[in-house]
Structure 1
Amino acid sequence: MLSFTPYSYPKSHSVKEILLSSLTAGVVVYLFLIIFQPFGTENFHHPYKYLILFPYTLIFGAAFFISSLCVSRFDEWNLVSELLKILAILFLGSVFSYFYNSLFISHVPLSFENYGYMFLYSMAIGIPTSSIYILSRYIYLKNSRENISEDIDSISNPVNSTKAVLTISINTTELRVAEDDFLCIQSMENYCTLYYLDNNTVKKLLLRISLSGILMQVQTQTIKRCHRSYIVNLEKVKSLKGNAQGYKLILPEIDFNIPVSRSFISVSIPQLQKLYISYYSSITEA
């Protein structure tokens, strides 16, 4: 039997990925409506029938986008959280669909009873499509974990032995990454995602190790923990935004910002200031 609760679940961090997923979700709903024509849709005859059904694509796509954008701020995410997000999407979609159907298609009076029918319709459409979406992403993550050792082998040998090299031991496997190529680490429960550069291309690798376990192996003068879920190479930080209530570090190589917890501000921010002072001094002297 599968136990879904303890497993972390892949969550979109970039707006571009969220937008693409939202468009896909909307198109899937539209295809479901025109192919299977449920809830009496086959008896609805109109010269612009498929055009009238198209707004449901925008409705469910927008609901998916809004919900995914809101949850992208959370650090920890698992299958139960994803299921709750799907329910929120179906709820939002049913509300927007109800108003669209009542005001522009059926022209029936607004009532809680009529909305109840729309909510059931939305659930009937959303549950099978959402199940396919959730299981496919879950299987993808599960397979990624099973292939960790194969991915590690591809970066085990550093390109340039003259560079400072970080050595990370995971069970019986050992991987080495040049310190200059190290970007950051993001944790998800007992797994960490390592972001690094390989020939100036950003790569990421899922590792089965806790953040505290990997921190002891990679921490240097410039590689520090800045959040309960993040380790960052401070030399790769090009700018930061926010204030003492909530700083975010910006690395141009990755498409998401790295938060800095209050408890780590006293460690991270002064060191960043030293790096910037040293950097600008070298430019001035040159």
Structure 2
Amino acid sequence: MRKLKEYLNRPTYAVDRPWTLVLLNATAVGLILAIFEPFHYRLNSLMQFWVLWAFIGLAFTLSILSFIVAPKIFKRFYDPDQWTIGKNIVHCFCFLLVMGICTFIYDRYFLIKAKFWNDWNTDSFYVILSIDMLAAFTIGIIPLLFGLFIVENNALKRNLLEAQKLNKLLSERTRQEEEETTKTITLSGDTKDAISLPPESILYMEASGNYVDICYKEDNKEKHKLLRSTIKQMEEVMLPHNNFIRCHRAYIVNINHIRNISGNAQGYRLSLTGATEEIPVSRTYLKDLKGLKDILS
């Protein structure tokens, strides 16, 4: 059970180009119905041709609601930085469930023209409901999974290419040193606890509950200091230092220590010289790579 929970909470790719998925879903549903004619559907008359377009329109509309409208309304649930395998499964299941219900309503009350909900206790009601739900899940799952694979694969290729470009800029970049290497900065929180150290020795800062973990290098060793503060407060303190950027809701990183940028379907990760942990790059703070490119160039 614990392994299942860990698997469901594992971060995964969040769709960043929903219109591509919308078009793929609608197109694939139309092709499957037209070519394979499943569940007794037959494209053998003008009426069935319009029925086909109705199902395409239904898939198109529900895909828009599911992949474009819903993420704008339920922003917390669809936060791309917090998107997990479990959330993805719930999202896909709900999409197919609503697709099945809408297919049933269209089939039962627009095609067969049954009296709305007056026949809910008849056998035909549940037979058609079962068939339409089965059709939605068996037909809809194919374009949905195929579309997710295509969009994720394209994101992987795009992020790998951009990571290569960034690494090239990184290798060509002249290291930005502080004006005074001996100058120190004092970081403090909501208590009397504080730490003074050269800004250049700081590798990154990470939010950890009500604390911020300051990761820095001293005597060529990675060290950590917890301060009771927020990452927002630390961001304001580091504003005068151009080599510190907020790359994630929980991270501030010193770009002078970036040695490699890797890309995957979820986004980007930064490897820092002297740090054991890789730092994630959030789309919330770097929606495109232009900001990071400007800093590195």
Match of 2:24 in 1: 24
Q: Give the alignment of 1:103-252 within 5 angstroms.
A: 103-108=109-114, 111=120, 112-113=125-126, 114-139=128-153, 150-157=164-171, 185-186=247-248, 206-207=268-269
For the 8 Å contact 1:186–1:231, the answer to whether it is kept is yes
Structure 2: distance between partners of 1:65 and 1:181: 40
Q: Deviations over 1:165-190 (max 9, x none)?
A: x99979xxxxxxxx879986346x99
1:41 and 2:44 correspond: no
* SS state at 1:206 partner: strand
- Distance change >3 Å, CA 183–CA 54, structure 1 → 2: farther
Match of 1:57 in 2: 56
Match of 2:221 in 1: none
Letter in 1 for 2:135: Y
Task: Return 5+ residue gaps in structure 2 as ranges.
Answer: 1-5, 179-198, 205-240, 256-265, 292-297
1:82 Cα shift? 1.4
1:137 Cα shift? 4.5
TM-score calculated relative to the size of structure 1: 0.51
- Distance change >3 Å, CA 185–CA 54, structure 1 → 2: farther
For the 8 Å contact 1:6–1:78, the answer to whether it is kept is yes
Structure 2: distance between partners of 1:133 and 1:231: 24
Identify the match of residue 91 of structure 1 among 86, 97, 112.
97
* SS state at 1:185 partner: strand
For the 8 Å contact 2:21–2:148, the answer to whether it is kept is no
* SS state at 2:268 partner: strand
Match of 1:264 in 2: none
1:115 Cα shift? 1.7
Task: Return 5+ residue gaps in structure 1 as ranges.
Answer: 171-178, 195-203, 219-228, 234-249, 255-286
For the 8 Å contact 1:29–1:125, the answer to whether it is kept is yes
1:232 Cα shift? 5.0
Match of 2:87 in 1: 81
For the 8 Å contact 1:145–1:207, the answer to whether it is kept is no
Q: Deviations over 1:234-257 (max 9, x none)?
A: xxxxxxxxxxxxxxxx99x89xxx
TM-score calculated relative to the size of structure 2: 0.49
Letter in 1 for 2:109: L
Identify the match of residue 13 of structure 2 among 10, 14, 19.
10
Structure 1: distance between partners of 2:95 and 2:112: 23
Structure 2: distance between partners of 1:53 and 1:152: 47
1:140 Cα shift? 5.4
1:106 Cα shift? 2.7
* SS state at 2:93 partner: helix
For the 8 Å contact 1:60–1:89, the answer to whether it is kept is no
1:144 Cα shift? 7.1
- Distance change >3 Å, CA 158–CA 87, structure 1 → 2: same
For the 8 Å contact 2:11–2:83, the answer to whether it is kept is yes
Q: Deviations over 1:135-159 (max 9, x none)?
A: 4445556677878864542221466
Structure 2: distance between partners of 1:136 and 1:6: 23
Structure number, greater radius of gyration: 2
Match of 1:102 in 2: 108
- Distance change >3 Å, CA 182–CA 93, structure 1 → 2: farther
Identity %: 12
